[in-house]
A and B are shown apart, each in its own frame.
Chain A
């Protein structure tokens, strides 16, 4: 009886402690978030990047409304026509309107970028967190990541595409595999540093479960560098996908991607400068916007770290 009553008291105290602890941590995190947001908006680079991306996104979304053509509509009679009032950016070798294809291509690239960064962020975080927590896993997982990183990303992506076959989904899978190790490494090093802090020891001694510690206490504190790294991966994914499609091993034609539009343009470069310039400018602005955003995010969230 006595023992049970004591256990009940201890359990009460524990939950009290948890609750107060949580409240305090939430408050601190909320303040940090506010400061980070303020820093972000003050950074002209970051805001500029956001604006640029927003403009491109709007273009991509509104294009079907502005232009009466679809991205797959071919009109052989109108092949390789320079920009005019009907086709703002001209037509390609199959008579398809370049403007709408670029708009759709921007969408495809965006979707791939988001998918890859989400996947590698989640996978990378899981690997990094569990590797930092369990020593046995650490060796295996980190060696695996080292092995993957030892192979240059472009070549590995090409190899995966060769094996899996060309499709947008396979591009997502390949690039996620290629970029996950970098997230894993950053997560792991930050997680190790956080685990040195006393409050994690306190949690352990209070009997908190590992899952709880990892996901509720360690993970939220390394969100900043992970978000920054994810934004870099987002940019890299879009560039790499474009490069893969340009080489013919990425998103297969006729599905438009910023890269494979240029792939098709390569053969007729002497006959159609607009086929290079128009998608090219959009791609360059896209990547510029992403880099500016990434820089700005890094300055706002994690100004002291080096990437």
Chain B
């Protein structure tokens, strides 16, 4: 199994390389002098020159890339123009709230989506199926920022049931307080993923149910619900798992929406503020971070595939 993982990592290196080149080039596509743009119109020529030098912008591009990639690999991800901390620290401290939000949303989505998807697949064509499918369609159609605003309007402004914003880490307020602040944001982000997962579960399970071995199981006398949960779901779990992984990354990267509405100090808020402040190196670092997380998630999914499906080992 170790060899398999190693092989998968090796096969991802070309993608990692291209992705890193793209992230690297982000700063260099800036029209004009990146240093000047970053410091803004108020900066003096001296300041611009200084930044220009420290960023090494006069060297040829490949040299700059090598410089940058070696820095990245040794943990130096650049500097923020506005936050006086190491980039690593900035990333980690902002990562935790986003991670919490992501996990809450994902948990909510998966918990509801799998039973609903199974039910819809089992009763295909019936009213229940149409109802669940329509609900899923609605879920992926309502933009999350709209949902967030509506939830705030309904539950915080009109009914004052839940806080309209802010964040309490588990360390400072305990789990209950943390959950209370996270509930609306999690619902906001989770509904879209719920819709997607329901659709994916339903279609994967339907695919499996049309296969021969399901008929064989019926012919053996296995009961319908056992076939559904023990056999169909297990066989369908692989594409569903891929979807869950994609949802995880989707939640991480779209977190900005909930973080903006609910004022949560996560990666999303960080990147938006950095855009406004033209703090490009932070943007670069965040993107690199999430992109690598993306690749790690896919690697984990691959490992799961191997564990669940015995046919994968042969490859």
Contact = CB atoms under 8 A, between A and B. Distances in A.
Would A and B touch once assembled, by the CB under 8 A criterion? yes
A9 interface: no
Given A143-B14, A154-B253, A243-B254, A288 B138 contact: yes
B149 A158 contact: no
A128 B308 CA distance: 33
A295 B141 CA distance: 12
Given A147-B22, A247-B272, A283-B143, A288 B137 contact: yes
A282 to B, nearest CB: 10
B7 to A, nearest CB: 17
11 contacts: A143-B15, A150-B294, A151-B290, A152-B250, A153-B253, A155-B271, A247-B260, A247-B272, A277-B150, A283-B146, A291-B141
Given A159-B284, A287-B141, 19 more contacts: A143-B14, A146-B14, A150-B18, A150-B19, A150-B294, A151-B22, A152-B250, A153-B253, A155-B253, A158-B275, A159-B26, A242-B145, A243-B145, A246-B257, A246-B260, A247-B272, A249-B272, A262-B145, A280-B146
B175 to A, nearest CB: 28
Contacts of B254: 154, 243
A156 interface: yes
A284 B152 contact: no
B137 A242 contact: no
Nearest to B204: A306
A162 B287 contact: no
Interface string A278-295: 001001100110111001
Contact of B26 (A163, A283, A290): A163
B295 interface: yes
A214 interface: no
Nearest to A239: B143
In the A-B complex, the 8 residue pairs with the closest CB atoms = A147-B18, A152-B253, A288-B141, A162-B275, A150-B19, A147-B19, A280-B146, A287-B141
A163 B25 CA distance: 11
Interface residues of A, number: 45
Given A243-B145, A246-B145, A269-B152, A158 B290 contact: no
A287 B157 CA distance: 26
Contacts of B287: 151, 155-156, 159
Interface string B1-43: 0000000000000111111011100110111000000000000
Interface size class of B (residues with CB under 8 A): 35 or more
A150 B295 contact: yes
Contact of B149 (A243, A249, A269): A269
B261 A158 contact: no
Interface of A: 143-144, 146-148, 150-156, 158-164, 239, 242-243, 246-249, 259, 262, 265-266, 269-270, 273, 276-277, 280, 283-284, 287-288, 290-292, 295, 306
B272 A284 contact: no
Nearest to B203: A306
Nearest to B246: A152
B252 interface: yes
Contacts of B16: 150
Max chain B C-beta neighbours (<10 A), residue from A152, A276, A283, A295: A152
A166 B294 CA distance: 27
Nearest to B268: A247
